[in-house]
Amino acid sequence: MNRYRHDLLDSGYEPPAGRLETSIALIAAQVLDVDQIGRSDSFFDFDATSMNALRICARIEAETGYLVPPHWLFENDVLADFAGRIEAEAERRPAGVS
């Protein structure tokens, strides 16, 4: 990984909060080839593409069991919002059920 968040953006870094945000941040950082993603960061600030969104969502499903349609990432492109959407949907239905 060779791109740092602070090299790309002017705002301060806010670390992920909680297990799900941390897991998503690690997955997204690997897929997007950056060193860290904070909870107030937009995935698109790191040049995320639709293919990246598919990879991120597939890895989240594989690693957490949550089914995450890629359009959720486009609708909630900030890490904290995306994790919140996943958690809200998980409360409505069990993991692995669409």
pLDDT string in tens for the chain (98-residue length): 444 544 555 568 899 999 999 999 999 999 999 999 999 999 999 999 999 999 999 999 999 999 999 999 999 999 999 999 999 998 887 555 55
pLDDT of res. 33: 94
Domains in the chain: how many in total?
Answer: 1
In Å, how far are 2, 31, 74, 91, 97 from 44, measured between CA atoms? 17, 12, 9, 27, 28
Q: Where residue 40 sits, what CATH number does that domain have?
A: 1.10.1200.10
Q: Is 97 a member of any domain?
A: no
Helix axes 18-32, 79-92, angle to 10 degrees: 130
Q: Is 9 a member of any domain?
A: yes
Residue entry with tokens 């598919």: 54
